[in-house]
Structure 1
Amino acid sequence: MKRCLFIVDMQEDFLPPNGALAVNQGRDIIPRINELAKSGEYDLTVMSRDWHPKGHISFASAHAGAKAYETVIDIKHPSGKGDIYKERLWPDHCVQGSSGADFAPELDFAPDYIVNKAADREIEQYSAFCDVWGITETELDSYLKAQGVTDIDVVGVAYDYCVSSTARDAAKYGYKTRLIRDCTKAVDPASIPTVEKQLTSAGVELV
């Protein structure tokens, strides 16, 4: 058994007080993440990074007349494959090379690996494993399997988007997956009961 601590998107744009898409109390979980990363319980520590180009399809600013948080559009994978995905539009965030894409400086450990996601302008991606259609994959699964990883604990932000999507995909890709609840925060706390039903149905253990 080889265990991985997987830390999702602990980047400045997702964190108070100045993040463009700040998750309430998102910074509060950093001390606990630091403890886990340095606990000796994990063989690998891996981080994901939202890495959007300017004009990403998820940005309200890329669509005339759209409003962040309010406008929902239909998008399709550029290959033409997959179903229509209903995408809620967001403020510009985690643009490649911007300060908002930086990891929180309070994270006081060096990860073994960083995987970038959502780096294609026309493809939406919440999970660190693949896009919202399950068509375009990152290198994450190949990397983890090459390292012999069998178990993954998932933490980070945001619980109801990238964290839950990554955890569900980790289980789908065959890893024994746990989500550590006191090390994540949600954009919409009211969504947590629904999100947790989806996680447990996908085989993710909540701890």
Structure 2
Amino acid sequence: MNGGSAVRRALLVVDVQNDFCEGGSLAVEGCSAVAAAITEHLREATYAHVVATRDHHVDPGGHFADEPDYLDTWPAHCVAGTEGAQLHPALDRSRLEAVFDKGEYAAAYSGFEGRADGVPLADWLHERGVEAVDVAGIATDHCVRATALDAVSEGFATRVLLHLTAGVAQASTDAALEELRTAGVELAGAVHGSHQRYKGTSLGPGR
């Protein structure tokens, strides 16, 4: 994404929502700081497009549970029409061209399951000639992981900006990073606020 590069790169901001941040119903430690860090990143970085994804549950069935296992079932979160479903206020929403909602009636981890005005994320990016994506957001070991893997499957050169993510748990985050590396995802930086054993490459000039 350096000034002389012809590659069209987009930033995908994954699920930086109130319910996933401190004080929310399914909070991930460091989420609020990630929201602010993404805003700071956008002051310096140049992208062809910037979009966000959002959990937007109406009735996701068994995805919600009163006694969740935190693997396949979760406490109620990001319910459509609630404050918890809104993007975190520290995230500069003025930079977002579109917000892709996912998970209305079923569990949805990948941002590529989301739609904006009925258009799937992959179609939206392909229609605009995007060739590469950076992925940031919440959580490293869940929705960021799933979004990055699907980005590779959709043919995008994919990079996860680890310093602009936060994970739920150490073990699952380590496993997710290894899976991403194996899938060909570039990992840059280190997961925000953690003591990750796995770190990615450094971001070069013009990131």
**1:55, CA displacement in angstroms?**
5.4
Distance (whole Å) between structure 2 residues aligned to residue 115 and residue 143 of structure 1: 10
Tell whether 2:56 aligns with 1:31: no
Quickly say closer, same or farther: Cα 1:55–1:2, change in 2 above 3 A.
closer
- 193, 197, 203: which is aligned to 2:174? 193
- 99, 111, 120: which is aligned to 1:128? 111
Overall identity of the aligned pairs, in %: 35
Match of 2:50 in 1: 45
Structure 1 runs (4+) deviating above 3 angstroms are: none
Q: Per-residue displacement from partner, 1:32-61 (whole Å, max 9, x unpaired)?
A: 200222324111110000000145320004
Distance (whole Å) between structure 2 residues aligned to residue 93 and residue 109 of structure 1: 21
Q: What are the within-5 Å matches in structure 2 for residues 72-91 of structure 1?
A: 88-91=72-75
Match of 1:14 in 2: 20
Q: Per-residue displacement from partner, 1:145-177 (whole Å, max 9, x unpaired)?
A: 011111100000011000010001101110000
Query: Contact conserved, 1:52 with 1:96, CA < 8 A, in 2?
Result: yes
In the alignment, residue 124 of structure 1 is paired with which amino acid? A
Match of 1:169 in 2: 150
TM-score w.r.t. structure 2 length?
0.81
Q: Per-residue displacement from partner, 1:50-73 (whole Å, max 9, x unpaired)?
A: 000145320004xxxxx1236xxx
Structure 1 unaligned residues grouped into runs of 5+: 62-66, 71-86, 132-136
Distance (whole Å) between structure 2 residues aligned to residue 109 and residue 38 of structure 1: 13
Tell whether 2:188 aligns with 1:182: no
Tell whether 2:100 aligns with 1:119: no
**1:191, CA displacement in angstroms?**
1.8
Query: Contact conserved, 1:59 with 1:92, CA < 8 A, in 2?
Result: yes
In the alignment, residue 165 of structure 2 is paired with which amino acid? T
TM-score w.r.t. structure 1 length?
0.81
Match of 1:104 in 2: 88
